[in-house]
Amino acid sequence: MKIFTLPDVGEGLNEADLVNWMVKVGDTVKVNQVIAEIETAKSLVEIPCPWAGVVKELYVEVGDTVNVGDNFFAIQVTDAGDSNDDAPAQAPLVGSGPKEDTSGRRRRRRKPAAAPAEVESPAESEPEVTQIPEELEPTPEPAPEPVQKSDLFAKVLAKPPVRKLAKDHGLDLTTITATGQHGEVTREDVRAVLDGAAPSTAETEPAKATGSSETSETIKVTGVRKATAKAVTESYTTAPHITAYRTVDATRTVEYIQRLKQHPRFADVKISPLLVVAMAVTQAALNTAEANASWHGDSYTLHHHVNLGIAAATPRGLLVPNIKNAQDLNQLQMAQALQELTQRARDGKTQPAELADGTITITSVGPLGIDTAAPIINPGESGILAFGTIKQQPWVVEGTVEPRWVTTLAGAFDHRIVDGAEAGAFLADVAAILEEPALLIS
């Protein structure tokens, strides 16, 4: 019998959360068959089996946190050519193989999730903003079709605490209608199936006696949310932020996007004003290198290439994959890269390499109905641009008040590198292209 220990999945991380077992004890598996899905702080990773045989034991439960090098599962090998049934561990799948657990922590068990509080997410609420053209409204992504598997917890989008709640009540996630923004099963969906069944005291903690039936909920911070919390705290407390704003007449950008949508070259790719913003930020980052830099304590590096980060809201939390060498892409290539990058993020297929080595970031808050925001710099970078809603409002054009399509840009910068002059120059370059996108081909 061979024991499989959790390998290094090539991300330099020491732990992961088990999201889903794809097999059960007694199942016969083939070489490279996917055994489980784990969630690291960076991505969702499928774990293949290096042997053919029969699963004898699963050492980890869904929702557990397991360290690299911990026992993961055991298998009775059926390969006649392998006579060593007592081998303790497998060859490494990725990188250098199992690492010593430098944290010294034992495997942690997640506490059962509490009953949900009724909170409406910003993405589900109706923003009070002037209507913009239908072409500018974000197109909702279709919910992914569930994969049919014999396992009780087949591959369905759901966070580990939700899976744990369903498992505790013997519910099959594949039979639950998902209402999450990106097609994921939420706690509310599971509770709806339970049809008001009284939750156990281990799941919920009643609210204080106030005459209200509301409950409170404690969420264990893991995976992407844990990594995000650590990163933004470090960034905000380490890098002194300076934020500058610029309101822009983007009417010609709106018109330009409409023309691109009608062009045969762009027929198979999604086009939005984000394309113009991405091209503009890339050009501005080359013009003002201080906004495209990294701080190293007593020195900093000015990058003369642009790895353009795109902040993406996903069912697992906020991810910032980046487009490598964005300065080398034409408009069609940039549109394709944006579409592919954001789709992979929503599908949970972002690769670790796509999250590394970013130089500057865009966060698009317009789809949430937000005019603008003061963003936090992505760690390791010196600049980030928030791009808000485009909406009609009065605008003075050559002495006459006209309705124009207007947006507000907010650039946050590391003040150790970027002063007001550089921040102003960067925003001026972005604004100039939004005001006249023809500059992209000049």
Distance between alpha carbon 46 and the CA centroid of its chain, in Å? 17
d(C-alpha 368, C-alpha 387), whole Å: 11
Instruction: Spell out the alpha helix ranges (H) of 239-381.
Output: 251-262, 273-287, 331-346
Residue 214: its pLDDT value, please? Answer: 63
- Tell me what pLDDT residue 38 has: 86
Catalytic residue positions, numbered: 415
Q: Please tell me the predicted confidence (pLDDT) of residue 190.
A: 82
Going from the N-terminus, what domains does the chain have, and what CATH number goes with each? 2-77 (2.40.50.100), 122-198 (4.10.320.10), 224-441 (3.30.559.10)
The answer to whether 65 and 16 are in contact (CB under 8 A) is: yes
Q: Which residues of 104-141 are buried (b: 16+ CB within 10 A; e: fewer)?
A: eeeeeebebbbbbeeeeeeeeeeeeeeebeeebeeeee
The pLDDT of residue 78 is 85
Which positions ≥6 away from 136 have C-beta within 8 Å?
254, 257, 272, 273, 390
Residue 355: name the closest of 228, 236, 254 by CA. Answer: 228
Using a cut of 0.75, tell me whether the model's pTM lies above it: no
Mean pLDDT by 10 residues, the chain (442 residues): 83 77 92 87 80 92 87 83 42 37 41 38 36 42 42 57 75 80 76 56 40 67 77 86 96 96 93 96 97 93 96 83 96 95 85 90 91 92 96 94 96 96 97 95 68
* The pLDDT value given to residue 182: 63
Q: What is the pLDDT of residue 79?
A: 57
pLDDT of residue 136: 44
Q: Which residues of 386-411 are buried (b: 16+ CB within 10 A; e: fewer)?
A: bbbbbbbeeeeeeeeeeebbbbbbbb
